[in-house]
Structure 1
Amino acid sequence: MGDALMVLGTLSGAGKSLLVTALCRILSNLGYDVVPFKSQNMSLNSAPSIEGGEISRAQYLQAIACRKKPSVKFNPILLKPEGNMRSQVVFMGKPVGSVSARDYMLSKKEELFRKAMTVLNELKEKHDLVIIEGAGSPVEINLKDYDIANTRVMLYAKAKGILVTDIDRGGSFASIVGTMELLSEREREAIIGFVFNRFRGDASLLKPGFEYLEKRYGKPTLGVIPYVEHRLPEEDSLAEFPKVRGELHIQVIKLPHISNFTDFEPLHWANGVDYVTKAEEIGGDVIIVPGSKNTVEDLLWLRKNGFEDAIIEAHREGSFVVGICGGFQMLGEKIIDTVESKRGTVNGIGLLPAKTVFEKTKRTNHLTAKVLWGPAKGTAVEGYEIRFGRSTSERPFSVITAINGAKTFEPEGAIGKRAFGTYLHGIFHNFVFTERFLNFLRAEKGLEPVSIGRWSIEEEIERFAGIVERNLDVERILGELGL
């Protein structure tokens, strides 16, 4: 049976997801058969697995770092927030219900935990090493008895633990001490050392703190990871929505149930994105209606709060409007939903010639396609779909040429006047397409064309992992694992 290494954090956003990603690539490069695992993740940014189910984007990225096909086994429990303290529960890639936070803690967690540990056992049996990611803080006093994503997993798996903290936020030594003091003696014994993440400056200045931690707990500091500018998706629980106005004013509407907002990362890098929360702010060069966990409810929110009229008026005055997945559905003529919101027939915003019917089975697939929209016509793109809706249009945005590698010919999306919509999550991660889209709009404003560069997630994982490896005592970690 293989070994297990667990990365815990002193708080949400400490850098657990990316440290696991880096470790997956580092150990894979050393020849180990490695897989990631997170028993339970709460995320609005999901991605398709090889089995056709949903997993968190974090475990999807970690699978790529391990050079493995993303599997539901890497993230057996996925909670997708729906608002009002409720979440959709996805187990092994498939929705199994919607519950309140209280009901989930009291009635669902134990059963799902047992099933998730069966999956973990299977992974340990088949691979050299499972690298497990924790969730948030492992020592929240009000939650620890219900926690099935942190130290309970570590002890069950007989895993060695690394505790990571974000020094860029300050208070990192205090947060490590506080976390260690609130761990049980058995949990503390499993911790093999500490990692300080996102450090700016001379690491030698931290030496007195390292000495204090080693004297108090007998645990070394395993690494100080510098602050790294990177293009890898972060975990979304603490995602920020900055208002950045570039030469093109690109606006993304921050819907109440916004999902898969990692779709817009390349637009951040190439130009800047302005997330808007008020109808009176609408009026950019580009207005994007993003994906949604509850399409019809968000459409009605747009309507109630004046966004629909503002979008229509801005479009009339020349704004280009884009819809991604749920946003595409909202921009169409009609939605018939007896599945997600159960509101039946609802009129859409009407900027795209499309009609959508929600079906009970969710499509979760990796897609390759060829774009039909004018300035980027013929561009080959790839992405993924996660949707209940099935849309029809006489003017599709693209033709899907392969689903999970199997050849097909299927129209998707829609083109309108100065508008398009698509089901392709990750469309802007296709840099040839994004360049052509942005330069079409820049030319209209008399701006010089831009090149957003050519790189891949694979290259970025390798670059980031290299930086982590140079600043982490990998040899000591391997020694603790007996590898």
Structure 2
Amino acid sequence: MRRAKTVMFQGTSSDVGKSVLTTALCRILRQDGWEVAPYKSQNMALNSYVTLDGKEIGRAQGVQAEACGIAATTDMNPILIKPTRDMTAQIVVHGKPHQEMSATRYREEYLPLAADVVIAALERLRAQYDVVVLEGAGSPAEINLKSRDIVNMRMAGWAEAPVLLVADIDKGGVFAAIVGTLELLEEHERQRVKGFVINKFRGDISLLQPGLDWLEGRTGIPVLGVIPHMPRLDIEAEDSVVLERPQRTAESEGKELEVAVIRLPRISNFTDFDPLAAEPDVALRYVEGVEQLQLHRPDIIILPGSKNTLDDLAFLRASGLADAIGRLAEGGGCTIVGICGGYQMLGRKLNDPLQVESDCGEAAGLGYLPLETTFYEEKRTERVSGSVNSEHSGWKAFNGTSVSGYEIHMGQTVQLEPVYSLFTLGNREDGAISQDGRIWGTYVHGIFHEDAFRRQWLDTVRTAKGIEPIRSILPFSTRQDEAFDRLASHVRDHLNIEKLYEIIGLEK
């Protein structure tokens, strides 16, 4: 019977690069001829991924599956935690909402039952592949969480996986982070750590070498690699912490189209906009205040998806962003787009009678489109495809252009009066557009990953601005595949692959 080898990345803290290194190793193993799959037993993220059968998993595992050249399944991330409010999250089990729980309830009521779920998922993967690359979460040395751990050292034990401990040198204190983590592990857990990976290094490696020698002498564990910082990964991120890093660089200056994505407190699926950021004429930035929005008058404002539409709508009003967006809309020179939760906000009214998303029973929308949304307990998760099919004069030229993506929402939206739709998806219509064509929205995440649609739409914005259209199409899917290979090459060059194969138990 087939039974995959396993290896696991764990980190000295969150955001040390575990997801990226898992992606890199998945790609390396695939390049070397192995059938490989990613796995993360429990993930906390608002950036999700919809599998081919309409189930929801963490975005990172979906991207890692793409790096492996395989279709993602819920076995790769059987438990997904999606924060909705402070101290409360929606628990998604094998791609479907299980229950909304507080952190305390989840720990006390669900975690004791979760072991069977995550072990069974892993065993199914091990029966299908040569290697499973596991990813931990946060740090394995969180003393307050260890007794009911299902994602770090206990998971490594269930998986019979050697552990590679990753530390981010860019944070500072890398040696203290590694040694401190080991000190807080139990002896049997320390025995499972077979190598260190120091990530995001900048500078002269010879200056670091005395520290590496000391670390190996102090712990008896080899440093498998020091991975230099890679400034442009071009691979979809999962954690919104990446949005906190500087966005405006020299290469974004002087571009003809300014795109502002409103960074909502509970923003979800922000990777929808990666293809826009990759376009040669687009300067894309995330803004969370009026001054940022007005700093560079945007040609396009995007209201993204949200895990809590009503609370994020309240944020828009309280921050003054709703009024600022209104002023730009009234000026007539700005296009406003809403995706999923942002689409719901563009309507006139939002109802939450069952308090699915918020304690607030209802709220007025921004009022740009004649729509009303009601939230229900049943969640729609589905892959969709179709084409542009609109009677709006400004969109008729788009008709027949292919579109695809995925829906993931708990609201149902109806028209309060006739309004132009945008897309035909199977046997139904989706989206709405204002009379002047400058404001539109859709439930479809990933719409900008469609190369022809993205370029055609951006060219209409250019034309309205009095700029010649570009027309040439940048194939984003090819760009991401090339990014996987570039990442794999970068990590392969700085990681002791021969030693890693020995640790995993594979023949090179």
Post-superposition Cα deviations, 1:376-431, rounded to whole Å, max 9, x if no partner, equal 5443232211112233454122222xxxxxxx233211111311101121222333
Number of aligned residues: 476
In structure 1, which of residues 272, 275, 284 is the aligned counterpart of residue 283 of structure 2? Answer: 272
Corresponding residue of 1:193: 195
Q: 1:153 to 1:225 in 2, by over 3 A?
A: same
SS of the aligned residue for 1:240 comes to helix
What secondary structure does 1:467 align onto?
helix
* Equivalent AA in structure 2 for residue 313 of structure 1: R
CA distance in 1 between counterparts of 2:337 and 2:284 reads 14
1:366 matched to 2:357? The reply is no
Determine whether 1:439 maps to 2:459. Answer: yes
Q: Does the aligned pair in 2 maintain the 1:353–1:415 contact within 8 Å? A: no
Question: Which digits, 9 at most, give the CA deviation of each residue in 1:58-97, with x for residues without a partner?
Answer: 0111111222211111111111011221111111111111
Match of 1:145, SS state, is helix
Unpaired runs of 5+ in structure 1? Answer: 401-407
Per the alignment, do residues 210 and 303 of structure 1 end up closer, same or farther by CA in structure 2, a change over 3 Å counting? closer
Unaligned 5+ runs, structure 2: 390-394
8 Å Cα contact 1:47-1:386 kept in structure 2: no
Q: What letter is aligned with 1:330?
A: M
Match of 2:160 in 1: 158
Q: CA deviation at 1:290?
A: 0.9
Which whole-Å CA distance do the structure 2 matches of 1:69 and 1:446 have between them?
43
In structure 2, distance between residues paired with 1:163 and 1:29: 23
**8 Å CA contact retained: 1:353, 1:395:** no
**Following TM superposition, by how much is the alpha carbon of 1:448 offset from its aligned partner in structure 2, in angstroms?**
5.7
Deviations 1:113-169 (A, max 9, x none): 332122222322332221110111111233333432111111121101111122233
Name which of 424, 427, 435 aligns with 1:399: 424
Q: In structure 2, what is the equivalent of residue 238 of structure 1?
A: 241
What letter corresponds to residue 161 of structure 1 in structure 2?
Answer: V
The equivalent of 2:392 in structure 1 is none
Answer yes or no: is 1:307 the counterpart of 2:321: yes
1:250-307 deviation line (CA, Å, top 9, x unaligned): 2222223211112222333443333333346555322211111122332244345443
Counterpart residue identity of residue 365, structure 1: E
Query: Partner of 1:8: helix, strand, or coil?
Result: strand
Amino acid aligned to 1:453: L
How do 1:207-246 residues align onto structure 2 when only pairs under 5 Å count? 207-228=209-230, 229-236=232-239, 238-241=241-244, 242=246, 244=248
Q: Equivalent residues in 2 for 1:97-246 (5 A)?
A: 97-228=99-230, 229-236=232-239, 238-241=241-244, 242=246, 244=248
Whether the 8 Å CA contact 2:243–2:286 is kept in 1: the answer is no
- Name 2:80's counterpart in structure 1: 78
Q: Which secondary structure state, in structure 1, belongs to the residue aligned with residue 459 of structure 2? A: helix
Q: Percent identity?
A: 45
CA contact (8 A) 2:449 2:476 kept: no
Go from structure 1 to structure 2 and tell me whether the alpha carbon gap of 1:447 and 1:203 turns closer, same or farther (over 3 Å shift).
farther
Poorly superposed stretches of 4+, deviation over 6 Å: none
Matched with 1:92 is: 94
Written as runs of structure 1 = structure 2, the 5 A alignment for 1:329-340 is: 329-339=344-354, 340=356
Identify the residue that residue 328 of structure 1 maps to in structure 2.
343
Q: From the superposition, tell whether residues 227 and 243 of structure 1 become closer, same or farther in structure 2 (CA, over 3 Å).
A: closer
1:348 aligns with 2:373: no
- Partner Cα distance (1:100, 1:409) in 2: 39
2:337, 2:440 within 8 Å by CA — same for their partners in 1?
yes
Shift of 1:346: 4.2
Of the structure 1 ranges 107-116 and 16-25, higher mean CA displacement relative to structure 2 is found in: 107-116
Give the equivalent residue in structure 1 for 2:258. 249
Partner of 1:405: none
CA RMSD of aligned residues (A): 2.4
**Counterpart in 2 of 1:404?**
none
Contact 1:51 1:72 in 2 (8 A): no
- The residue type paired with residue 388 of structure 1 is M
CA distance in 1, matches of 2:487, 2:284: 24
Partner of 1:464: 487
CA–CA separation in structure 1 for the residues paired with 2:362 and 2:211: 62
CA contact (8 A) 1:60 1:70 kept: yes
Q: How does 1:396-435 map to 2 (within 5 A)?
A: 396-400=421-425, 408-416=426-434, 417=436, 418-435=438-455
Match of 1:454 among 471, 475, 484: 475
Q: TM-score, normalised by structure 2?
A: 0.87
Residue 117 of structure 1 aligns to a residue whose secondary structure is: helix
- TM-score, structure 1 length as denominator? 0.91
Whole-Å Cα distance in 2 between the matches of residues 220 and 134 of structure 1?
20
Which moves more between the two structures, 456-465 or 436-445? 436-445
Q: 1:383: which partner in 2?
A: 405
Residue 225 of structure 2 contacts residue 494 of structure 2 at CA under 8 Å; is this kept in 1?
yes
Which residue number corresponds to residue 61 of structure 1?
63
Give the distance between the partners of 2:199 and 2:467, measured in 1 at CA: 39
The separation in 2 between residues aligned to 1:16 and 1:439, in whole angstroms, is 38
Letter in 2 for 1:311: I
SS of structure 2 residue aligned to 1:55: strand
Q: 2:303 aligns with which of 272, 285, 289?
A: 289
Q: Of residues 271, 281, 289 in structure 2, which corresponds to 1:262? A: 271
Equivalent-residue separation in structure 1 for 2:357 and 2:237 (angstroms): 29
Q: CA deviation at 1:446?
A: 4.1
- Specify the SS of the correspondent of 1:461: helix
On the 8 A contact 1:375/1:436 being kept in 2, the answer is no
TM-aligned CA distance change 1:359 to 1:73, over 3 Å: same
